[in-house]
Structure 1
Amino acid sequence: METKKVWLVTGASKGLGLTLVKKLLENGYRVAATSRNAHSLVEAIGVASGSFLPLEVSLTDDDAVKAAIDKIVMHFGKIDVVVNNAGYGQLGTLEELSDAETKENFDVNVFAPLNVVRHAMPYLRSQKSGNIFNIASVGGIFGSFAGWGVYCATKFAMAGFTEALAEEAKEFGIHATVVYPGYFRTDFLTAGSLKTPKSAIQEYAAARQSEQAHLNDINGNQPNDPEKAADVLIAISEEENPPVHLLLGSDAYDMLQNKIELITKDAEQWKEYTVSTGY
């Protein structure tokens, strides 16, 4: 009987990552999971075994990521599926977020998953197979949310590098998918996972209203089930030709349609200028 695939899931101590790891283990897959605190993984899932490897990794440390991936291959013999799930939400308008706050969000949401890709690819290339899921957000499709510009920019970046990765990796039999979840009922919108600006400017009424709505009203009332999202990711990993773009949630689908309509409207309205630049 074929041995089930080995998965690497980052940011696995809570939210969608934790749900996915539990479901994978229930279904007989072998899983390496990372968190900033290995104790939280052991507490939530269990100790290291033949099917589970908890790892404490600072994903923004390139050397630490390489060491972790080498350790996974030593433990399980290979890696088949990589899920770049770790990340956090950063609220704040472009004016009020500091350089440090902005760079930190990019470090965790963009440069950390690039570290994982960089060091997983040699193993995936050598075996001529694999899947990489980069978990972005509907904010990686549609950025018209006051107070979410930096966060959306990190997710737009993830979408962009995943599109390129899909082209680079396909000649090796490796599939790359950018995942755009809508609102899922996890702890993403809790104070521990969603950062607010250190120096808020109260004049930004729309941003402040969005901040309060996400922390107080939307949190706990999200329309999507993380258990079902985990089922979808597992199913997609077994597809022969998985998509480059995967939306999760009817709200994500609706936002895509809104984005298409907005871009098309602008393109058509200003087409005379657009096509006027040729020689």
Structure 2
Amino acid sequence: MGLTSGRVALISGAGRGIGAAVAKTLFDAGWSVSLGMRRPQMPDWAASAPQRVHCFAYEASDPECAVGWADEVMARFGRIDALIANAGVMIPKTAVEISDAEMAQLLEINVQAPRRLAASCWEPLAASGRGRVVLLGSLSGKRVKSPGSGSYAVSKFAVVGLAHALRHAGFDRGIRAVAVCPGFVATDMAAGLTDRPAEALTQPEDLARVINLLIDLPNEASVAEFCVNCQLEESY
């Protein structure tokens, strides 16, 4: 029999960075968590309640992975209450110099993969009465700040649009979707993109606290977009 006590969240890209921080934060808050990782490994913090942690070999570019993951989580826990679609890639090329294959990869992993995950989890999310979908967008999905971030921005603008589309698709069934749009976060990805020291960037743990709050809000306090920045910009 599946474990059905407590809420259950799927987190993609949970092996490091933002995803790992979200997984630990939700676990500490009492959630059962399923960790989508390219190389599944039980984290040390799971030792206190390993029955509440599930690891899955998730490959965002594999269309079959989403259904298999959702099915495995339902067999293990019997419910899905939240999806945090965090896995993503960045290709630092302009919209002119990027190849068709590279652009297709950006859209496949950053847009299609979270859409497939949401679709695979949709019915269990609706059954929960307060299903939550968090898509990790970016401030690059709100503005284009440099030529080299242009192609990435195209994919992240699409992620923000996807969050709004899912919000409309599921609102009447109690599903709330939100695009979380951070600027530079102290992760491996940001390390190669900014000269700012890690301590001057948004910390993954702080972003995880934001996500924990967003998915804990009631249906009547729906947030469509949440922007987070480590520096002052004109609008963000």
The TM-score normalised by the length of structure 2 is: 0.89
Q: Secondary structure at the match of 1:154?
A: helix
Shift of 1:121: 0.7
Shift of 1:42: 2.4
SS of residue paired to 1:133 = strand
Matched AA of 1:243: V
Distance 1:152 1:62 in 2: 23
1:1-279 alignment, distance < 5 Å: 3-38=5-40, 41-42=41-42, 49-190=50-191, 214=193, 217-218=195-196, 220-240=198-218, 241-249=221-229, 251=231, 254-255=232-233, 257=235
Kept after mapping to 1: 8 A contact 2:167/2:176: yes
CA contact (8 A) 1:136 1:159 kept: yes
Assess if the C-alpha contact under 8 Å between 2:80 and 2:128 holds in 1. Answer: no
Render the CA deviation track for 1:102-121: whole Å, top value 9, x for unaligned: 11111111111111011111
User: What is the root-mean-square deviation in Å for CA atoms of aligned residues?
Assistant: 2.2
Aligned to 1:209: none
* Contact 2:12 2:58 survives alignment (8 Å): no
Are the equivalent residues in 1 in contact too, given 2:179–2:225 (CA < 8 A)? yes
Task: Check the 8 A contact 1:86/1:108 in 2, yes or no.
Answer: yes
The code of the aligned residue for 1:61 comes to D
Query: Is the CA contact (8 Å cut-off) linking 1:181 and 1:247 kept in structure 2?
Result: yes
Greater shift in the superposed pair: 72-81 or 241-250 = 241-250
Q: Secondary structure at the match of 2:50?
A: coil
Shift of 1:161: 1.4
* Residue 46 of structure 1: how far off its partner (Å): 5.1
d(CA) in 2 for partners of 1:93 and 1:230? 30
Query: Residue deviations 1:75-115, cap 9 Å, x none?
Result: 11101111000002110122322111111111111111111
Paired amino acid for 1:42? M
Which structure: larger Rg? 1
**Contact persistence 2:133–2:177 (CA under 8 A):** yes
The aligned amino acid for 1:13 is G
Take 1:231 and 1:220, find their aligned partners in 2: how far apart are those partners? Answer: 18
What amino acid does structure 1 have at the position aligned with 2:205? E
Q: CA deviation at 1:167?
A: 1.2
Q: 1:256 to 1:61 in 2, by over 3 A?
A: farther
Counterparts of 1:248 and 1:126, CA distance in 2:
31
Q: How many residue pairs were aligned?
A: 230
